[in-house]
Amino acid sequence: MTNYVDFYRRSIEEPNEFWAEQARLIDWQTPPTQVLDDSRPPFVRWFAGGRTNLCHNAIDRHLATRGDQTALIAVSTETCSERIYTFAQLHAEVQRMAAALLAIGVGKGDRVLIYMPMIAEAVITMLACARIGAIHCVVFGGFASGSLASRIEDATPKVIVSADAGSRGGKVLAYKPLLDEAIRLAAHKPGAVLLFDRGLAPMALVEGRDHLASVVLERHAGADVPCEWLDATDVSYTIYTSGTTGKPKGVQRDTGGYAVALAASMKHIFDGRPGETYFCTSDIGWVVGHCYIVYGPLIAGMASIVYEGLPTQGLDGQPNGAIWWELVEKYKVTVMFSAPTAVRVLKKQDPALLRKHDLSTLRALFLAGEPLDEPTASWISEGLGVPIIDNYWQTESGWPIITIANGVEKKASKFGSPGVPMYGFKVMIVHETTGEELTAPGEKGVVVIDGPTPPGFMQTVWGDDARYVSTYWQTVPGRSVYSTFDWGIRDADGYYYILGRTDDVINVAGHRLGTREIEESISGHAGVAEVAVVGVADGLKGQVAMAFAVPRNSAVLTEADQALVLEGEIMKRVADELGALARPARVRFVGVLPKTRSGKLLRRAIQAVCEGRDPGDLTTLDDPATLQQIRSVVGSASAN
């Protein structure tokens, strides 16, 4: 096995040779004539002159050797259904969908906005767009009309593909009324809307614009639609960053670089092998799902599970905290990818559920989406008995920036750290005001990436090169580097630790404190299941830390004496570990924390409530009642 230090060094010092080798992991109609073109920084062109197609690499190239192998497993605990597609069957379905899109006027370079639940048809639509060279833009299903409208205006899609409804925890969310209102609000109007009817909610069709997918697809049964070969530098898709305020920020990705990056990551990071099964519990509306539910596993010749439902609900519709492990056993999953939030949900279940099913095929569990705290990592590690590999990346990066490349060299994880920089990413820590690189272990600064950025990284902000440069490349004094906007430190072994957003820093009496550090300390208390820390304006100190914790013992929520004892213990723990300045002004206890549908904590909304401000756009909020809990405890404290 290769030494990772040498592997990484070569990717940085000899990028042309290194990435030329990785490019051989995919099929090309025309090989590239230039591997790296960084003549116009910070813009980078990868594999110029080459022509390829994402759909070909995900499906067609596997037909000769594994056409009868399982490619897609669609599981819904909401509709109590399972559907399996072989590569050959998926190939037929994608061609039929591609023919349908062509028939309603979609061509190469046109945009198709996909607003769908986690069903097989959503994946098939993505692949069909890639097949004909259309640029697809997946928007998280169930987004509110205002947010959807702003994305319609920005992407200017020729066609929108949607469904009657999605479902979560048995609650049906009708998509069609949200979509109709979004189209009404948007200045841009799509030429056509293609709708899948799941029979979950009634749909009123707009004459001349709306088309039932079943009717259109029926006309194209047995269609033969060849792949449209694209330049490697052509746009494959756009995806909007979650939490964007103001005008949406569309992350634009190329075709060839993206395909190579995913193929390489499946081999070097995830150690995924053809014929095996990959299970990513994300959503295709988020970058993790886009990359590692759809394209990554299929490019690698693996079966991929598409999952609709909660991690605590079974295929019979009844509560089942072991449903994911049941699927791991049933489909012999070897690689699993989830989020720390999901693990914390499972942590509240009976630990015996982790041992209920045969998990002997599982080699590793990868986690991403938010920092992984040590208690959660230790709990799931002990329960599963497999490596728990954190990884840090962003919508903009397209694949992990920092993790452990076990496919290159087996290395131990350090709980609390996502790992080390991945090949191709020149990661540094710099001082936020001077731009000076900080090289000593433990020095805290901003995590940045020096150019050229590797394949798979965003090309630019859709339709706005100037915004790409000013937002990402001009925020560090004296340097043109990509800012992640995250604080970090590096230890003596080169492992990085992410300490929270630079814009989530608390400035207490002139001392800068990262919310992540305080959260890590509090979450280590045995009585705390989950915690969010925000900075709240204070007339004396500028800001103070305010903590909101979910206690393991629900009695803390109703018994004032128990709450007072636990709060005191937490205060002492933080003061002992981080110093008195880091100690929160208060620790307030709630039953659940407000999160987006992708599981990210809405810290900004919590902060706004604490400061008596409008929390702003809450369209990504999973359950409005959770923010009301914050209002209640803040309000009752004020009254006291």
- Residue where a domain terminates, one of 472, 493, 525: 472
User: Do 463 and 527 belong together in one domain?
Assistant: no
Whether 487 maps to a domain, the answer reads no
Cα separation values, 249 from 396, 472, 595, Å: 10, 12, 21
Q: Which two tokens stand for residue 462?
A: 């859709």
Whether residue 254 sits in one domain with residue 147: yes
94-104 mean pLDDT: 98
Given 472, 496, 523, the domain boundary residue is 472
Beta strands per DSSP E along 51-208: 51-52, 70-76, 81-86, 111-116, 135-140, 159-163, 165-168, 171-174, 192-196
Number of domains in the chain: 2
Residue with tokens 């925000």: 534
| Structural domain includes residue 75 | yes
The CATH number assigned to the domain holding 540 equals 3.30.300.30
Query: Do 419 and 523 sit in the same domain of this protein?
Result: no
Residue with tokens 């659940």: 592
Amino acid at 284: I
The pLDDT of residue 1: 57
Name which of 8-22, 141-155, 472-486, 589-603 the model is least confident about.
Answer: 589-603
Q: Which pLDDT score, from 0 to 100, does residue 245 have?
A: 42
Domain assignment of residue 437, given as a range = 4-472
Work out the widest C-alpha separation in the chain, in whole angstroms.
72
The per-residue pLDDT for range 164-191, each reduced to its tens digit, is 999 988 999 999 999 999 999 999 999 9
Q: Are residues 229 and 85 in the same domain?
A: yes
User: Do 515 and 417 share a structural domain?
Assistant: no
Q: What is the mean pLDDT of residues 195-217?
A: 97
- Asked if residue 26 has pLDDT above 70, the reply is yes
pLDDT for 504 equals: 67
Structural tokens at position 172: 């049906």
Establish if 360 belongs to a structural domain. yes
Which pair of structure tokens corresponds to residue 476? Answer: 């560090």
Strands (E), 494-579: 496-501, 505-508, 511-514, 528-538, 542-551
pLDDT at 373 over 80: no
Contact (CB, 8 A) for 178 and 133: no
Distance (Å, rounded) from C-alpha 637 to C-alpha 539?
18
pLDDT of residue 639: 40
Q: Per the domain annotation, does 257 fall within a domain?
A: yes
Same domain, 468 and 513: no
pLDDT at 244 over 60: no
pLDDT given at position 620: 66
How many Cα atoms within 13 Å fall on the side-chain side of residue 286?
Answer: 21
Q: Could you tell me which of 274, 329, 325 has the C-alpha nearest to residue 304?
A: 274
In 331-387, alpha helices (H)? 340-347, 374-384
pLDDT digits (tens, 9 = 90+) for 517-549: 788 889 999 999 999 999 888 877 778 899 999
Do residues 202 and 220 lie in contact, with contact meaning Cβ atoms separated by under 8 Å?
Answer: no
Q: Is residue 503 part of a domain?
A: no
Residue 529 sits in the same domain as residue 464: no
The pLDDT assigned to 511 comes to: 64
Whole-number Å distance between alpha carbons of 412 and 311: 28
The kind and range of the H/E element at 426 are: strand 426-430
Rounded to whole angstroms, how far apart are CA atoms 640 and 638?
A: 5
Scored b (16 or more CB within 10 A) or e, 76-86 reads bbbbeeeeebb
Separation CA 282–CA 337 (nearest Å):
8
538 and 445 in a single domain? The answer is no
Do β-strands 235-240 and 159-163 pair in parallel, antiparallel, or remain unpaired? unpaired
| Token pair for 625 | 């009642």
Round to the nearest angstrom and report the end-to-end CA distance of the chain: 63
DSSP states along 289-319: HIIIIIIHHHHTT-EEEEEES-TTB-TTSSB
Q: Residues 6 or more apart from 204 whose CB is under 8 A from it?
A: 176, 180
Say whether both 421 and 550 belong to one domain. no
If one counts every other C-beta atom within 10 angstroms of the C-beta of residue 43, the result is: 17
Helix (H) or strand (E) holding 237, with range, is strand 235-240
Give the domain CATH number at 176: 3.40.50.12780
Please, what is the average pLDDT of the chain?
92
Does residue 278 form part of some domain?
yes
> For residue 357, what pLDDT is reported?
94
436/560 same-domain check: no
Q: What pLDDT shows up at residue 246?
A: 53
Q: Do 54 and 109 reside in the same domain of the chain? A: yes
The answer to whether position 477 is within a domain reads no
Please indicate, yes or no, if residue 261 is contained in any of the structural domains: yes
Using CA atoms, how far apart are residues 463 and 607, in angstroms rounded to an integer?
32
- Mean pLDDT over 491-507 rounds to 83
Position 617 confidence tier, pLDDT thresholds 50, 70, 90: low
Q: Are 483 and 468 in contact (CB under 8 A)?
A: no
What does the alpha-carbon distance between residue 625 and residue 629 come to, in Å, rounded to a whole number? 6
Helix ranges, 104-244 (H) = 120-132, 145-155, 176-185, 213-218
Tell me phi and psi for residue 33, to 5 degrees.
-100, -20
| Angle ∠(626,578,553) on CA atoms, nearest 5 | 40
Q: β-strand 388-390 against 364-367: which pairing, if any?
A: parallel
What pLDDT score does 598 carry? 66
Whole-angstrom distance, CA of residue 241 vs CA of residue 252: 11
Q: 243 pLDDT band (50/70/90 cuts)? A: very low
Q: With H, G, I as helix, E, B as strand and everything else as coil, classify residue 245.
A: coil
Under the banding of pLDDT at 50, 70 and 90, the label for residue 510 is low
Rounded Cα distance between 273 and 267, Å, is 7
Q: Are residues 555 and 461 in the same domain?
A: no
Q: Which two tokens stand for residue 484?
A: 């992640």
When pLDDT is cut at 50, 70 and 90, the band that residue 100 belongs to is very high
Encode pLDDT of 36-48 as tens digits: 999 999 999 999 9
CA–CA distance, 620 with 629 (Å, rounded to integer): 17
Considering only CA atoms, which of 421, 441, 430 is closest in space to residue 490?
441
Angle at 226 between CA 222 and CA 228, to 5 degrees: 145
Does the pLDDT at position 303 exceed 60? yes
Residue where a domain stops, chosen among 444, 472, 500 = 472
Q: Which segments of 575-620 are extended strands (E)?
A: 586-589
What pLDDT band is residue 613 in, cutting at 50, 70 and 90? confident
Task: Output the six-digit token pair for 208.
Answer: 């001349």
Q: Which pTM does this prediction carry?
A: 0.86
pLDDT at residue 142 is higher than 90? no
Record the tokens describing residue 2, joined without a space. Answer: 């290769």
What percentage of the chain has pLDDT greater than the value 70? 96
Q: Is 505 a residue whose pLDDT tops 70? A: no
